[in-house]
Each structure stands twice: as C-alpha cells, then as structure tokens.
C-alpha cells in the first residue's frame, strides 16, 4: 500500500486541508494516546464521506471511522489505511418535527440544543463526550436513558457508498452495541424523536446529572470512560475496587482513585501502558472473583 499514491488519488475527492498523511492521532482523540494514521481525512460533506468510502472499498484499503475517540484506544503503532474522522460535520436543527444532528456533532451539544428547543429526552446524554456517530454505534446511555429510546431513524451509507435510512429493528440494539458494530455502515445523520418539555425541568435534570458525573468521575484526566462492560449482576468498578486495584499504575496509566471503573491517562500514558493495565486488572479480578471482565472500549490499530 503506497501512502503517497493513495493521498494523491484522494486529494480531488476532499476539501483542501482536510486530508493528511502520517497524521498523529494522539491529539485528535479524547484518550490522548496512540500512533499515526497512514492517511487521515476529515470530510466536510456527506458526499465526501461517500467518495472516500467507495474509494477505500474499491481498492480494498482498510477504512476506520473515528468520532471523538472517547471509546477507543489506538495502539502506539497507529492505524493502517485511511482514518475518516467526522469532527467537521457538526450541523443540527429541526426538520419534519425531528431533531437531526450530523455524525460529528458532540452528543453533549445536541443535548444542549434540545434544551434550547424545549425538547425532552436527551438529558441523559448531557455528559457523554462522544459524537452522534459514536453514540449510535455504542447505543450510548447513562442514568436510565439510552440512544435507542429516542432515536427515530438514521441516514447511513453502506460500503458501496449507497445512502440508506435505517429505522426500528434495523438497528439491532443491545447493551452498548448496535448494527454498526458490523462495520457495514457509516452513520451520516441521526434523527431524534423528542417530546416538548418544560425547559426549567430539562435544565434541572441536566444539572443534576452533571453534578453526579462530576462528583464521581475523574473528568480532569483523559480517559475512555468506563473501561469494562457491566458483568451480569455485578458492577465492574466495585469488583476492581474490592480487588484493591485503585491507584495501580503502569507507566502513565492509572486505575482511578475516584472511580475504579476508569483507567486514566494520568501522565502521558502510551497505549501499551493502558492496555497493559487493562490486562492486569482483568487477571486480578478473575483471580479474586472468577469474573471475566469484558472491555467496553475498543482497541484499534497496530503495536509498535
């Protein structure tokens, strides 16, 4: 795979300045670690996403979609092929009685926009630091709400670049998963069905959830949020806490003292530090409680 050749072929398909070679991803993801993308593209229109996706598919070049990188760890060797980051597609508005938001809009901002419009239903998302695309992919949820409860439909493309609208059962919702885990579709736009509400009550709910989050989570450090899925009938954070792992460090990665379910990037952690600490936590919890912790966070890319 010749990176310069791919770069040259992609140039006419995408707005100038939105395409780079050997781009460091560390500063472009919430976790603040990881290596380079061979090719990095930040499309500004849906058509550009379609063109890049169709190009990658035709030439069998790996294509990785990134939102805000708040649920991924990118290994230190980086990501081969094309990384398509949605950060420049941030529009939102009201159309046909639905709140629509483009894939790269931060779900926190969409939740704030719903408040401005006097619409209730997205309060749960007011502190989730991901994009709309990432939130659909993960069926993101918090404090009793989940994306699946408020999503009406989504505009997506398939690997050939064809536009489709998904609705209802087509999302195949599960706990922190959806049809998007197949890697088959790219989310372009979400349409949320929200109800009219009292702005004061919506704001009060968001303030309450923000207070809960700030008092329990180590938001002053980069991280990927809760590293592990909730094991059946248990809480990962509690098992980690009871295993005495809080404060354990590998390199710059540390099991948070504030919330045991978080591993923070405390001091310029490498992905290798972070993944090493995940493995350490998993084996300690397995040994102590005979519970296999499964990661919620996705690990992408190659080792150095």
Which is closer to ligand FAD, CB of 6 or CB of 69?
69
Beta carbon of residue 251, minimum distance to ligand FAD (angstroms, whole number)? 19
Residues that bind ligand FAD (CB under 6 A): 30, 65-72, 86, 103, 128-131, 133-135, 137-138, 140-142, 180, 186-187, 217, 219, 223-225, 298
Beta carbon of residue 21, minimum distance to ligand FAD (angstroms, whole number)? 21
Q: How far apart are CA 99 and CA 88, in angstroms?
A: 19
In the chain, beta strands by DSSP E: 19-24, 36-41, 63-66, 72-74, 79-85, 92-95, 98-102, 119-120, 141-142, 145-146, 151-157, 163-167, 186-192, 195-196, 223-226, 249-250, 253-255, 262-265, 298-300
The residues, ordered by sequence, that sit 6+ positions from 71 with a Cβ below 8 Å of its Cβ are 130, 134, 138, 224, 225, 296, 297, 298
Structure tokens at 74: 């990118």
Beta carbon of residue 217, minimum distance to ligand FAD (angstroms, whole number)? 6
CB 278 within 8 Å of CB 227: yes
Which is closer to ligand FAD, CB of 41 or CB of 128?
128
CB 78 within 8 Å of CB 101: no
Beta carbon of residue 220, minimum distance to ligand FAD (angstroms, whole number)? 10
CB 84 within 8 Å of CB 49: yes
Beta carbon of residue 85, minimum distance to ligand FAD (angstroms, whole number)? 8
Active site residues: 176, 226, 296
Which is closer to ligand FAD, CB of 225 or CB of 237?
225
Cβ atoms within 10 Å, residue 149: 15
Beta carbon of residue 212, minimum distance to ligand FAD (angstroms, whole number)? 10
Q: Is 124 exposed, middle or buried (0-12, 13-18, 19+ CB in 10 A)?
A: buried
Which is closer to ligand FAD, CB of 5 or CB of 24?
24
For 150-185, the DSSP string reads HEEEEEEE-TT--EEEEEGGGG--BTTB-GGGGS--
Which is closer to ligand FAD, CB of 98 or CB of 219?
219
CB 214 within 8 Å of CB 242: no
């Amino acid at each position: 795979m010749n990176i310069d050749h791919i770069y040259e072929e992609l140039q006419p398909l995408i707005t100038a300045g939105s395409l780079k070679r050997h781009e460091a991803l560390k500063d472009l993801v919430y976790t603040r670690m990881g290596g380079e993308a061979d090719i990095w593209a930040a499309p500004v229109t849906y058509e550009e996403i379609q063109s890049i996706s169709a190009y990658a598919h035709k030439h069998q070049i790996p294509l990785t979609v990134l939102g805000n990188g708040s649920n991924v760890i990118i290994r230190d060797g980086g990501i081969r092929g094309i990384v398509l980051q949605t950060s420049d597609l941030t529009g939102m508005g009201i159309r046909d009685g639905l709140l629509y938001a483009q894939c790269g809009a931060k779900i926190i901002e969409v939740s704030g926009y719903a408040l401005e419009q006097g619409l209730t239903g997205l309060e749960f998302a007011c502190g989730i630091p991901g994009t709309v695309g990432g939130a659909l992919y993960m069926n993101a949820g918090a404090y009793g709400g989940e994306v699946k409860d408020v999503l009406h439909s989504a505009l997506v493309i398939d690997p050939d670049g064809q536009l489709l609208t998904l609705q209802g059962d087509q999302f195949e919702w599960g706990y922190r998963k959806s049809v998007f885990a197949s890697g088959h579709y790219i989310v372009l736009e979400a349409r949320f069905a929200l109800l009219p509400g009292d702005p004061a009550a919506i704001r009060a709910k968001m303030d309450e959830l923000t207070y809960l989050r700030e008092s329990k989570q180590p938001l002053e450090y980069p991280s990927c949020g809760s590293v592990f899925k909730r094991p059946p009938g248990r809480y990962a954070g509690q098992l980690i806490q009871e295993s005495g792992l809080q404060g354990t460090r590998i390199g710059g990665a540390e099991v948070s003292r504030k919330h045991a379910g978080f591993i923070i990037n405390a001091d310029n952690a490498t992905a290798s530090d972070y993944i090493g600490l995940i493995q350490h936590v998993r084996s300690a919890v397995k040994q102590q409680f005979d519970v296999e912790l499964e990661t919620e966070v996705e690990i992408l890319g190659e080792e150095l």
